[in-house]
Structure 1
Amino acid sequence: MSETAYWGCGVEGVRRNSVLVQHAVRTEGTTAWCGASVRPVMIDGWHVPFVPTGTASCRECARRWEQAAKMAQKTALQGP
């Protein structure tokens, strides 16, 4: 399973264009991939997934997400 599968959406108090900035955060975590302190976004026990292409996504979290996705794809192509 890809490293990116374990990351959901988290938000902090900083807003960009009146929208909460979305960060990648581990479920049950409070620190985003970029190091920001965040609150995970939960809806009735379901952790909202991080969307790296969103307009309000943290650029650093999105960059790390893309790197992890590329590594996962490279590993899958190489095989065990």
Structure 2
Amino acid sequence: MSQTASAPASGRINWTNLITVVSAAILLGTETVGAALAFGWAMAGWLGFGDIGTWILEALSLALGVAALVWFFRRASSVEPWRG
């Protein structure tokens, strides 16, 4: 028995790979967003930026976290191809 995954026929979705990639992205996304917001809040408080500065730093760190999540999803989709 072979353990390797075969690519689906042209135009079909490989649901096993898609569920794997989406599940990993959800797990990584919640951790990344939470860590990014906590980092922005903590750094703004430590540096004394005030409310507006805190929101700006949280937004910047959140944008970086979302960019990392998009990068992860694209790389994971290339390793686990879910489209035929």
TM-score by length of 1: 0.38
- Tell which has more relative contact order, 1 or 2 (C-alpha 8 A, sep 6+): 2
| Structure with more strand by fraction | 1
